[in-house]
Chains A and B, each alone.
Chain A
Amino acid sequence: DQQVKQNSPSLSVQEGRISILNCDYTNSMFDYFLWYKKYPAEGPTFLISISSIKDKNEDGRFTVFLNKSAKHLSLHIVPSQPGDSAVYFCAAMGPQGGSEKLVFGKGTKLTVNP
């Protein structure tokens, strides 16, 4: 059973507009959430994170929002740039079976069109 779900496999946005990538999780024990960005032929790179004690974290053009009651988080990219085109992975972390575990979603492929 998938604990971290990214229901949109792909998203296409015009340059300069806002990109919104969504992620849902099922495990209420998750207390730390991360977004990773992956270009083809490269490993994922850390983008931004948020602790469960916050509902928003902003870093430049990237903002992550967390809605704990809905078990939902989203990544906003404003304004979107062609270089943002990549696969974005949502990940969640929390105690499971006595140890911390990082669980990833399947990813959403973002295409930003010039």
Chain B
Amino acid sequence: ETGVTQTPRHLVMGMTNKKSLKCEQHLGHNAMYWYKQSAKKPLELMFVYNFKEQTENNSVPSRFSPECPNSSHLFLHLHTLQPEDSALYLCASSQDILNTEAFFGQGTRLTVV
């Protein structure tokens, strides 16, 4: 049990679909993050939320839309994705914004067809 839960674990979607990834943590952490891991590439930071406020958007295309309704939940809304968006999407949380070790969820394996 990592303390950070992501659903679904696997997702296959068409390029015209709309889907959402969900992340949940009950560790009392104030910062939450979305990372993307593509094959043979480093983990890429996508979004950072601190106390429910987005503090960083790492030049992510608008077809990815994050939402943080409260400090325990983080969503990543997806629409009109491209096949190259297929990757492992990881959610993480930390006590404060990146000044302590981040705890990662198990990830959502996304395939865009």
Binding site for B on A (CB under 8 A): 2, 4, 9, 34, 36, 41-46, 49, 89, 91, 93, 99-107
Task: Say how far A52's CB is from chain B's closest CB, in angstroms.
Answer: 14
Q: In the complex, what residues of B have CB within 8 A of residue A93's CB? A: 98
Q: Is the CB of A43 within 8 A of B106?
A: yes
Q: Is the CB of A102 within 8 A of B98?
A: yes
Residue of B nearest to A39 (CB): B106
Please give me the 8 A-B residue pairs with the lowest Cβ-Cβ distance, nearest first. Answer: A43-B104, A104-B43, A100-B98, A46-B101, A104-B42, A44-B104, A106-B42, A43-B106
14 residue pairs bridging A and B, Cβ less than 8 Å apart: A34-B101, A41-B107, A42-B106, A43-B106, A44-B90, A45-B2, A99-B48, A99-B97, A100-B99, A102-B98, A103-B42, A105-B42, A106-B40, A106-B42
Count residues of B near A (Cβ-Cβ below 8 Å). 24
Residue of B nearest to A107 (CB): B42
Residue of A nearest to B48 (CB): A99
* B55: interface (CB < 8 Å): yes
CA distance A2 to B48 in the complex (A): 20
CA distance A49 to B99 in the complex (A): 12
CA distance A2 to B44 in the complex (A): 11
CA distance A14 to B97 in the complex (A): 39
Q: In the complex, what residues of B have CB within 8 A of residue A41's CB? A: 9, 106-107
Of the residues B4, B42, B99, contact of A4 by C-beta under 8 Å? B42
Q: In the complex, what residues of A have CB within 8 A of residue B102's CB? A: 46, 102
A-contact 0/1 string along B92-104, CB 8 Å cutoff: 1000011101111
Task: Say how far A40's CB is from chain B's closest CB, in angstroms.
Answer: 11
Task: Say how far B31's CB is from chain A's closest CB, in angstroms.
Answer: 10
Q: In the complex, what residues of B have CB within 8 A of residue A46's CB? A: 101-103
Q: Is the CB of B97 within 8 A of A100?
A: yes
Q: Is the CB of A99 within 8 A of B104?
A: no
CA distance A45 to B105 in the complex (A): 9
Q: Is the CB of B43 within 8 A of A89?
A: yes
